[in-house]
Structure 1
């Protein structure tokens, strides 16, 4: 029982230091949480990239907690523990870094993206065959909402190492569709009429990015006309609004051609009879 008495005696003698150490530790934890929130709220309005605020606030928070732990160990007479921890940090970093290589790579990629990201939240992007809107950025992964509503979690290292297309970084996106008209039509007149009809559609840009309409190719039954137009992705942020603009543009062209009596031939099937017997065609009406 001597060791019990010795322990209680040491505990009694060091109780004030232990209480002070616990107070320092609790204070550092509360301070870290408060400073983390303050730093994030201060940086977020000034930065377009939320990763910067998240990274800096987490870094400051970790530093405060480490300082609090060091003071706690020293106040209770266990300063050697803090020294041992920091001395072995290099070896542990190597071991942990090797064991969790992918996690470390994603984390470092997240830090790089915090200061220079190829996109912002809400941007329409495409990477690794996935098309969707960026909904969340963190230090490990990027979350993309695909056009069919799926949440896709992509590691940041993949974002940096693979080609990425940002369709909204400059605020403009181009669309096109093709419509076929009869060979007998005046193509120049038809393209001019189509251009005016598409330009009148709400959401289609004018000016330098006005619609372009031209004869695209000769097909078996039609001359295909290509219609190219631009939309403003800053005012039309959702993909559904882009689909609606496209639908309105195609409807406007179809109505125009019908009103002007311009032929839009369908595919023609030609049947040849290699037999001498005549083919009888009957039209049975009920």
Structure 2
């Protein structure tokens, strides 16, 4: 006991120095944890106001909290005299190894965050994304869930979606219906245009503005092609498309305007024999 007391009395300055360093390191950890929680909470509130998905909020908040706390731990270790250079090197190597092994998953995760932040589509919208067409059912961190018109559920990796063009068919309130109608070369073009416009005029779902457009589009090998382009509300697109196709066929038949099929004229020439 006397030896301990003697050692303490002889090393009072050293003990006081390490005690202060330990207390400072402990304060750094406590303050670092408080700062990490506060920053993560503020970040979460800011993203909630912008309507960011809760999964992304919790994910990003956890990352920010972890980064700040790890920095506080390194500062605390440095304060008590521990060389943190080796720790940083080990963390860097571990991060690189994890990143390489989870490259695909991390890519999908980053793409999921971008999708939710920039909102190229929302739940319920009909899109073509990642080579798949369907209604958006759910957007997760790693994948987006689409439902096809025939009620199939397709899980599309987020990285596949962000690496290709995205077509959103539901974002705008109106859409243009593009029809290509071919009639025979014997048809009266003025009468054909009148018949097509009468079909459009009879459908009350078509919008007055923008006005529809009916024009001769091309002279094909076996038909004269008309473009028929009315505007409709997005939710009426397919019903109008199918109804117009049926009504146009019936109207053309009633007016004796033929719809040709591909055909080929073969001409025979008789060559006089030479005697």
Change (3 A) 1:257 1:57: same
Number of residue pairs aligned between Structure 1 and Structure 2: 212
* 1:1-286 to 2 correspondences below 5 Å: 43=48, 47=51, 51=53, 53-60=54-61, 91-208=93-210, 210-233=211-234, 236=235, 242-266=237-261
Distance 1:156 1:250 in 2: 37
TM-score (norm: length of structure 1):
0.59
Change (3 A) 1:114 1:249: same
Over the residues paired in the alignment, what is the CA RMSD in angstroms? 3.9
State the 1:247 CA deviation. 1.5
Which is worse superposed, 87-96 or 256-265? Answer: 87-96
Which residues of structure 2 form unaligned runs of 5+?
1-40, 68-86, 271-275
Change (3 A) 1:56 1:268: closer
TM-score (norm: length of structure 2):
0.61
Change (3 A) 1:247 1:93: same
Match of 2:6 in 1: none
Distance 1:248 1:180 in 2: 17
Larger Rg: 2
Change (3 A) 1:95 1:272: closer
State the 1:252 CA deviation. 1.8
State the 1:62 CA deviation. 8.0
Change (3 A) 1:194 1:265: same
Change (3 A) 1:255 1:95: same
The runs of at least 4 consecutive aligned structure 1 residues that moved more than 6 Å come to: 61-66, 271-275
Cα pair 2:175 2:237 within 8 Å, conserved: no
